[in-house]
Amino acid sequence: MTSVSRGGLELYVRELILKLHSAGLKQVVICDQNSFMVADLRAQGIAVEHLQTGSRYSFLRMQRLRALDKKYAVAIWHSHQRDDMIVVALAFLFRTRFRHIFSLYMGFARKQDLLHRLVYRRIEHLVTTSQLMNALALERLPVTIEQLKCIRYGREEAPFKRVAAEIQAAQKTVGLRKGEKLVLSLGRLDPMKGVVEFAAATEHLDTKLKKKLVFAQIGERTIIRYDAQNNPVYAPESEAAFAALQARAKGKGSYARFVLLPFQEKYIPFLLTADYFVLASYDEMYSLSLIDAMLAGCLIIGTDNGGTVEQLDRGEQLLADKFPRRGEQLLADKIPRRGERGLLIPAQSAAMIATALEFAEDNPTLCKKMQKAATAWARHEHTWEQVLPQWLELYSAPFVKA
């Protein structure tokens, strides 16, 4: 896991590693030396090795992987990013009995070229958290149905118990006053996450809601590497989004109050404080923060694409026709689509975020029903008691040649 960012993907991979460790699975974690998880893993006695930054085609990096493979007698490789998957697959291209699991957390385009046919053939199992994404993988990627597995995200319920002091601290940080409601977004400050539209929605509300709702965005910019002085270097598009959000947070005008907060290690009290959670991503595969928002009891507003639809609507219906109503139709309707567990809106529309919030304020009984359904579903699908045994079973299963 060579990412140096600190987003939902990286946080979850750390949690999965620690859960597997607690279950007695011996692991060695190969990551960048600047990864935030190094200290946590070593504190638990987990072996950590570093892989230098470089190309996914780097012979030096492949040589390093082969050396670590020999040092630790690795039985199964498990990669969590596409570039990592490719360098691992190429490093052991000619090994006959090669066990490699690839967890795919991000959306993907069609990949049927020679390189991808070659590397996906070296994967024993491709694991996603979404049945819908597995169906799309069969269409877009050079994989077989035998390679595909769906294992949901695992979550702990205990952290979602309400602690008055923690909620009061979150309210104070946001500056939430009596009678105000919090609209929260949580994730990397990347344009594809819809953070700019989320901030812009503050100006599309009616006058009454502009005074009642407070928007808060929690997250940090996407780190692509560290420079020679060990300072983070951010993705240019993430820097641009950050500047836009800063301007909205500092500005004064005819819009609802907007608060920009940095990454919060303890983010759950903010979710417990929030009335609404907005996931405005352009194409989200399957959101971890959305599950946390469900467990916190928020009313969810999500974009009508990717795995978000599976999370907010009935999965069996989705798998029957795979693509529900698209965003273009929704724009014409000018109303949010009511899913079983939340409201669905088209991506890239600040106005529709505002419309969904106005709809929610006007329909509290319906929204309360959605909130209860969302919390119940998250508890049924995403507990570690259900998820961890699936991972242990996959690790212990007999070798299956891809």
Same domain, 133 and 191: no
Distances (CA, A) of 363 to 183, 299, 337, 360: 16, 12, 13, 5
35 lies in the same domain as 24: yes
For the stretch 143-175, pLDDT in tens is 999 999 999 999 999 999 999 999 999 999 999
Over the stretch 202-217, which tens digit does the pLDDT of each residue have? 999 999 999 999 999 9
Query: Is the pLDDT confidence value at 322 over 50?
Result: no
Mark whether 191 and 309 lie in a shared domain. Answer: yes
In a domain, 294, yes or no: yes
Kindly state whether residues 194 and 292 are assigned to the same domain: yes
- Residues 123, 204, single domain; the answer is no
165 CB burial (10 A radius; 0-12, 13-18, 19+): exposed
Sign of the C-alpha dihedral computed for residues 190, 193, 199 and 204 taken in this order:
positive
Residues 355-369 pLDDT 10s: 999 999 999 999 999
Do 254 and 133 belong together in one domain? no
| pLDDT tens per residue across span 118-129 | 999 999 999 999
Q: Average pLDDT of 34-40?
A: 93
75 and 97 share a domain?
A: yes
Tell whether 402 is covered by a domain: no
- Do 140 and 192 lie in a common domain? no
Tokens 């947070």 found at? 249
Q: Is 402:121 a contact under the CB 8 Å cutoff?
A: yes
Q: What is the pTM of this model?
A: 0.87
Does a structural domain hold residue 330? yes
Shared-domain flag, residues 365 and 315: yes
The pLDDT of residue 360? 95
Half-sphere exposure of 39 (CA within 13 A, CB side): 2
Sorting pLDDT into bands at 50, 70 and 90, what band is 323? very low
Q: Is the pLDDT of residue 324 over 50?
A: no
Q: Is the pLDDT of residue 21 over 50?
A: yes
Same domain, 391 and 315: no
- Domain around 273: 158-381
CB 150 within 8 A of CB 174: no
> Is residue 274 domain-resident?
yes
Residue-averaged pLDDT of the chain: 91
Dihedral of CA atoms 260, 264, 266, 271 in degrees, nearest 10, equals: 30
For residues 241 and 313, membership in a common domain is answered with yes
- 342 secondary structure, DSSP code: S
Is residue 2 a part of any domain in this protein? Answer: no
- Give the chain's domain count: 2
**How far apart, in whole angstroms, are the C-alpha atoms of residue 12 and residue 104?**
12
Dmax over CA atoms of the chain, in Å, equals 66
81 falls in which pLDDT band (50, 70, 90)? very high
Same domain assignment for residues 201 and 346: yes
Residue 401: inside a domain: no
Q: Sorting pLDDT into bands at 50, 70 and 90, what band is 399? A: confident
pLDDT of 9 above 50: yes
> Which pLDDT score is estimated for 313?
87
Instruction: Write down the pLDDT at residue 334.
Output: 65
| Domain CATH code at residue 67 | 3.40.50.2000
177 is a domain residue: yes
